[in-house]
């Protein structure tokens, strides 16, 4: 066994092993510390928040007050931490720099953190999955990629799903030729305005997918196209109806999601991007320096780059020798499946749940955070924080606290893109001495008029006249820049009606 971990001669039980040093994994450590339960954190990356760093440029929909775990905050506050404003909206990078990194360096956490520790297998010491007698009394054995092994009294798997995206293939399998063209396919949320700009500026990008990740990338690409001539965008979705791809717009049960669809619809109507519906990717092939997607019905799309925004899935292969009972559809626990079904629930309507709903036939093994939701995309960090609070209490034997599961998820403000729009509107309104509702009203009115207008400028002027706003001020707001005489930005207007970045389930 690993010399850093306990040996059979150590007094007391082995520690709880937490897999993953992201927001939920570090929150689990904070709660275990408060409960006086020994723990070790195993992080596959070479830094904490390794997966979050991959989408550092993306803004969260949730303000800081929902992004910071209560136990973690108590530890940080005791160390004199300079907390961010609760109402501000962080990016992924800010989440790491201002919260996760300071938390990981605290004396309560740092000595128990192992970086570059990728878990490949979990079992019970001296027993495979078949053995039943005395199983619950055996410690876990957790093996790393380098062969190192740790023993554990319990395992909390907060490794997430970022490393296991869904493939492009329409049937859930990789498309034929997908692996061979992998260097031309970006995963979800590439930084097209930053680090990945060179791959997309002045080139043709095909975005596959219809969720928030796809929408965010499309909006960023539209911004790029405004600055970089020759940038072309195609949006390929599997659904056969444009209305379904647009999320129902005004008829959508989630108004913010409908606003996102309406904004993208405007990009289609104004020729900023090309929408292709009913396109299920069957094969991928190289055509010189380009890449071609072949649909199941034989249609093709050829571009310079593909962004695969088809969602994520959990990887339970490391737990193959454990006794797991997973929902056959979502890949979460069966008790959780009905509570998080994305066909029935949004981010803010999930019933609070804890160690009971997350328990498995394998005692003291829990998948938490994004991984606990399987293929459901409606996870929120605040939900994960309550999950690990309940689990830590149960592992400490405080079952009254473990069963007292509470979650404050207001209908608006935690998974609504309206927060991002409102934040931007407040800043713009302050610049021009207006009330915050004016920029949003201008944006929504302009977007409604844009399809029939001769130009974006004409649509802005018509909207200004309709709401009684000085047209020169309206054009400055629509330009979203300090530069005089700058043209109005369609994507900038969309950002005032919905989010220009982020993920509903942050």
**SS3 sequence of 117-137:** CCEEEEEECCECCCCCCCHHH
Residue 251: predicted pLDDT: 42
81 token code pair: 């931490």
Whose tokens are 């991984």? That residue is 371
Contacts of 487 (CB under 8 A, 6+ apart): 456, 457, 479
CATH 3.40.50.720: does it fit domain 16-164+312-403? no
Q: Decide if pLDDT at 335 tops 80.
A: yes
Residue 263: predicted pLDDT: 64
**Whole-angstrom Cα distance, residue 317 to residue 361?**
16
Residue 262: predicted pLDDT: 60
Closest by CA to 201, choosing from 233, 176, 157, 236, is 233
Q: Which whole number is the average pLDDT over 300-323?
A: 97
Percent residues over pLDDT 70 in the chain? 85
Residues found in the chain = 506
- Cα–Cα separations (whole angstroms), residue 1 to 37, 143, 193: 21, 9, 46
Q: Which whole number is the average pLDDT over 187-194?
A: 95
Domain residue ranges in the chain: 16-164+312-403, 179-308, 418-495
Q: For the beta carbon of residue 386, count every other beta carbon within 10 angstroms.
A: 22
**Whole-angstrom Cα distance, residue 363 to residue 12?**
19
Q: Which whole number is the average pLDDT over 17-45?
A: 98
* C-beta separation of 185 from 214 below 8 A: no
Domain 16-164+312-403 and domain 179-308, same fold? Reply is yes
Residue 444: predicted pLDDT: 80
Fold for the domain defined by 179-308: FAD/NAD(P)-binding domain (3.50.50)
59 token code pair: 């803004």
DSSP string spanning 439-505? HHHHHHHHHHHGGGSSSHHHHHHHHHHHHT--HHHHHHHHHTSSSTTPPP-HHHHHHTTS-SS--S-
Closest by CA to 257, choosing from 502, 65, 57, is 502
Residue 360: predicted pLDDT: 97
Candidate from 151-155, 181-185, 244-248, 457-461 with smallest mean pLDDT: 244-248
pLDDT band at 503 (very low <50, low <70, confident <90, very high): very low
Handedness of CA 418, 420, 425, 427 (dihedral sign): positive
pLDDT greater at residue 421 or residue 418: 421
Handedness of CA 56, 60, 65, 70 (dihedral sign): negative
Q: Decide if pLDDT at 374 tops 80.
A: yes
Residues 277, 282, 284: CA angle, nearest 5 degrees? 105
Residue 216: predicted pLDDT: 82
Residue-wise burial string across 431-459, b where 16 or more C-beta atoms lie within 10 A, e elsewhere: eeebebebbbbbbbbbbebbeebeebbeb
Q: Write the DSSP symbol of residue 138.
A: S
Across the chain, what does the average pLDDT equal? Answer: 86
pLDDT, tens digit, for every residue of 103-136? 999 999 999 999 999 999 999 999 999 999 999 9
**Whole-angstrom Cα distance, residue 420 to residue 501?**
9
pLDDT band at 250 (very low <50, low <70, confident <90, very high): very low
Q: Decide if pLDDT at 139 tops 60.
A: yes
Q: Which whole number is the average pLDDT over 393-412?
A: 85
Closest by CA to 231, choosing from 263, 272, 268, is 272
pLDDT, tens digit, for every residue of 466-481? 999 999 898 888 887 6
Q: Decide if pLDDT at 241 tops 70.
A: no
Q: Decide if pLDDT at 268 tops 90.
A: no
pLDDT band at 5 (very low <50, low <70, confident <90, very high): very low
């Amino acid at each position: 066994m690993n010399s850093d971990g306990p040996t059979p001669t150590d007094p007391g039980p082995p520690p709880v092993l937490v897999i993953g040093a992201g927001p939920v994994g570090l929150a689990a450590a904070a709660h275990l510390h408060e409960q006086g339960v020994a723990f070790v954190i195993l992080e596959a990356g070479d830094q904490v928040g390794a997966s979050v760093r991959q989408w550092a440029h993306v803004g969260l929909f949730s303000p800081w007050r929902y992004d910071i775990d209560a136990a973690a905050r108590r530890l940080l506050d005791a160390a004199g931490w300079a907390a961010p404003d609760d109402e501000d909206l962080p990016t992924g990078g800010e989440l790491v720099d201002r919260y996760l990194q300071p938390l990981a360096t605290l004396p309560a956490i740092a000595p128990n953190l192992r970086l570059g520790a990728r878990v490949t297998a979990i079992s019970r010491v001296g027993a495979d999955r078949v053995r039943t007698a005395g199983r619950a009394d055996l410690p876990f054995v957790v093996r790393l990629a380098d062969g190192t092994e740790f023993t554990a009294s319990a395992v909390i798997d907060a490794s997430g799903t970022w490393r296991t995206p869904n493939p492009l293939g329409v049937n859930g399998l990789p498309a034929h030729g997908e692996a061979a063209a992998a260097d031309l396919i970006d995963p979800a949320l590439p930084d097209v305005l930053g680090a990945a700009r060179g791959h997309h500026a002045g080139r043709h990008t095909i975005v596959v997918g219809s969720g928030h990740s796809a929408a965010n990338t499309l909006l960023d690409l539209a911004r790029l196209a405004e600055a970089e001539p020759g940038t072309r965008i195609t949006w390929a979705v599997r659904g056969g109806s444009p209305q379904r791809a647009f999320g129902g717009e005004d008829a959508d049960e989630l108004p913010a999601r409908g606003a996102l669809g309406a904004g993208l619809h405007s990009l289609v109507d104004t020729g900023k991007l090309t929408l292709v519906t009913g396109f299920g990717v069957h094969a991928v092939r190289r055509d010189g320096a380009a890449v071609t997607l072949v649909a199941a019905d034989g249609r093709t799309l050829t571009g310079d780059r593909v962004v695969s925004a088809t969602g994520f899935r959990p990887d339970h292969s490391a737990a193959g020798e454990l006794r797991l009972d997973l929902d056959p559809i979502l890949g979460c626990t069966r008790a959780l499946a009905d509570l998080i079904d994305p066909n029935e629930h949004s981010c803010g309507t999930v019933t609070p749940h804890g160690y009971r709903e997350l328990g498995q036939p394998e005692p003291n093994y829990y998948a938490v955070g994004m991984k606990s939701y399987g293929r459901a995309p409606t996870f929120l960090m605040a939900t994960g924080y309550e999950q690990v609070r309940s689990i830590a209490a149960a592992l400490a034997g405080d079952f009254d606290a473990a069963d007292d599961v509470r979650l404050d998820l207001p209908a608006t403000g935690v998974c609504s893109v309206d927060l991002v729009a409102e934040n931007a509107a407040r800043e713009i309104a302050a610049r021009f001495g207006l009330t915050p509702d004016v920029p949003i009203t201008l944006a929504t009115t302009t977007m409604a008029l844009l399809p029939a207008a001769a130009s974006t400028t004409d649509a802005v002027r018509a909207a200004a006249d309709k709401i009684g706003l000085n047209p020169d001020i309206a054009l400055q707001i629509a330009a979203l820049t300090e530069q005089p005489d700058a043209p109005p930005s369609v994507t900038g207007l969309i950002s005032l009606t919905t989010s220009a970045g982020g993920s509903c389930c942050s």
